[in-house]
Structure 1
Amino acid sequence: MKLALQLGYWGATPPGNAGELVAEAERLGWDAVFAAESWGSDAFTPLAWWGSATNRIRLGTSVAQLSARTPTGCAMHALTLDHLTGGRFTLGLGVSGPQVVEGWYGQPFARPLARTREYVSIVRQVLAREAPVRGDGPHYPLPYRGERATGLGKPLRAITHPLRADLPILLGAEGPRNVALAAEIADGWLAVYYSPRLAEQYNTWLDEGFGARDRTGFEVVASAQVIVTDQPERAVADMKPVLALYIGGMGAPELNFHAEVFRRMGYAAEVAAIGRLFREGDRERAAAAVPDELVHDIAIIGTAGHVREQVARWARAGVTTLLVGCRGVDELRALSEVWNTF
């Protein structure tokens, strides 16, 4: 199993120590660093900025949102960054949710799986550069053929030759059909709120997508807080406000993919209580309603010995990379010390 650093997306201001974290992760031999986007900072620019100061570490998006840019525009970002970093870029894609897609990007959210399939197909056409790019589907028609089309659109091939036609594409997915789609059309799965307790279920979804396809080389990149500490109770408590936000506030009550993940884990009653408290504006009680067991299901928190045992358990479950957020270089170093004892 490999280690990757999750920079995430920015809050009100850029993080002050991101460059230091990236440099230390590369020095310590971590495999990759990923950046995300929501409705503020974008996922590509931080990688270009911090990646320019590195030489070895891979750079990836987790995730770039489909509705933020057209598939050809996204492919331009990907091939540009791949050239600038000497073939170190990995493109992680995700659909986000209807509140962001329709409320921020002004795009329809309907049929996310069909949109993802079309999107990835066009990105791969751009990277392959075997022929002018065409899109025959209804979501990303190329050339454009809507009612306001001039009729002058022409299929085009990228001017710049991509460095790699096989640039890795990962899909962020939480539900069974999305996970199966990742296995079918992508090079890896970006797993949000992964729990090794449900590994058999995840592998069933993946196998459905693989079909007869060879699974060799497929990445399972699982986001997880991995904290080496003699005071796990404090670290668990620190995670609860963020979990309450994602369960109760990152999505509409009628459709919240994060909440669905935890319902599938068996926390339906707790999810309902957290959502109700969060919508009432009582974020403190919403965080308190997050069970300790839920945190331990999706995170690795404890002594060095406990972390070693749990990392081995996650690896047996099929995870190939742990994508970890760290607040400072001390956390990076502490985790690396444990990692080097395997």
Structure 2
Amino acid sequence: MPTGLLIPGDYDDVGGFAERAESLGYDCLWTPELWGRDAFVALTMAAHRTERIDLGTAIVNVYGRSPATLAQAAATLADVADGRVRLGLGTSTAKVVEDLHGMAFDNPPRRLHETIELTKAFLGGDGRVNYEGKLFSVADFRSLDREIPVYAAALGASNRRATGRVADGWLPHNVPFDQLPEAFETIAETARQAGRDPDDITVAPYVPCAVGDDTDEAYAAIRNHLAYYVGSSDGYENAVAQSFPDLAPRIADDWREGNRDAAREAVSDEMIAQLAICGSPDDARAQFEELAGRDVVDEVIVSIPIGASDTLRDGTVAELAPNR
């Protein structure tokens, strides 16, 4: 089973982290992007320090850059990294789009669909690109002749349908593990309607993981991480509510009202088992193998919880490494 690793957003030495990930056998190093660090620049640093590991964005949002800008950034990174690039795109949240980028959070599924479709057109082949959509119109620009798979981070059904129509991969986040097959079926059905083979769409959930002998620390880190995400947007809350219809709204309300401790305490062990990998090294590896063995999963991406200590972060990366 291929295994990915997400660079923690607060980790300064991106190149050193990339070198370690490659030495430990991880197949792809992914970097998030919200604010403070540019994903493409960070992965360029990683490219200069590695030789084999793939480099992916998980994710850059489809409002902050145009499809042309996304395509040329990915193509330039592919030149530096000898083609070892995966482009992960998503809609992000209203908070990020409106309050950071100063843009209207209008029709996210359509924005995701057209951005992926047009970005792939710019990247693929060696012809000219002409495109007429509802949001974007492009006339007579040459394509960049790069083979770069484009993944979508999609939670809601409309975004998942867009994924099925145009994306090469799906990056589910905070979708309860038992809900993954049903959620992917929406993607698969739409792919079939579009004349595509669902088996060609890679499913790579990125999963918060906390592994260490101090299991209290590990569980506390996961509870904080999950409470933050459930409280940060309606999309994450709704995804978790598919399996936890009573708990998810309670956690979200407490977090948004500033009752952070109450939100963390409300994250149950059952919720952790459906959304994360957590515990002692032996227990966590067993959980990882069980998730990786599910038919719907093609690659698990290890994500370190927000605010994890250096010891917990480094131990998690080592204990779940393919070359352990």
Verify same fold: TM over 0.5: yes
Shift of 1:8: 4.3
Query: Aligned to 2:249, what secondary structure does the other structure show?
Result: helix
Aligned pairs for 1:8-27 within 5 A? 8-10=8-10, 15-27=11-23
Q: Which has the larger radius of gyration?
A: 1
CA 203–46 in structure 1, closer or farther in 2 if over 3 Å, else same:
same
CA 82–335 in structure 1, closer or farther in 2 if over 3 Å, else same:
same
Aligned to 1:126: 122
5+ long unaligned stretches in structure 1: 144-154
Shift of 1:17: 4.2
How many residue pairs get matched?
A: 314
Aligned to 1:148: none
| 1:324 maps to amino acid | V
| 2:299 maps to amino acid | T
1:290 aligns to 2:267 (yes or no): yes
Aligned pairs for 1:183-332 within 5 A? 183-211=164-192, 212-248=195-231, 250-251=232-233, 256-265=234-243, 267-314=244-291, 315-326=293-304, 327=310, 328-332=313-317
The C-alpha deviation readout for 1:82-123, integer Å capped at 9, x for no partner, is 111001010000011222212222222222121222112211
Shift of 1:318: 1.6
Aligned to 1:53: 49
Is the contact between residue 211 and residue 218 of structure 2 (CA under 8 Å) also seen in structure 1?
Answer: no
CA 231–97 in structure 1, closer or farther in 2 if over 3 Å, else same:
same
| 1:75 maps to amino acid | A
Partners of 1:276 and 1:332 lie apart in 2 by 32
| 1:138 maps to amino acid | K
- State the percentage of identical aligned residues: 28
| 2:159 maps to amino acid | N
| 1:171 maps to amino acid | A
Aligned to 2:3: 3
| 2:241 maps to amino acid | R
Partners of 2:230 and 2:267 lie apart in 1 by 9
Is the contact between residue 170 and residue 186 of structure 1 (CA under 8 Å) also seen in structure 2?
Answer: yes
Partners of 2:125 and 2:256 lie apart in 1 by 48
Shift of 1:5: 1.1
Query: Aligned to 1:191, what secondary structure does the other structure show?
Result: coil
Partners of 1:79 and 1:17 lie apart in 2 by 24
Aligned to 1:99: 95
TM-score (norm 1): 0.84
Query: Aligned to 1:135, what secondary structure does the other structure show?
Result: strand
Partners of 2:283 and 2:160 lie apart in 1 by 29
CA 214–279 in structure 1, closer or farther in 2 if over 3 Å, else same:
closer
5+ long unaligned stretches in structure 2: 305-309
Aligned to 2:318: 333
| 2:87 maps to amino acid | L
The C-alpha deviation readout for 1:124-165, integer Å capped at 9, x for no partner, is 22112544333312312225xxxxxxxxxxx3225xx43x2x
Runs of 4+ in 1 over 6 A off after TM superposition: none
Partners of 1:94 and 1:293 lie apart in 2 by 28
Shift of 1:25: 1.1
Query: Aligned to 1:59, what secondary structure does the other structure show?
Result: strand
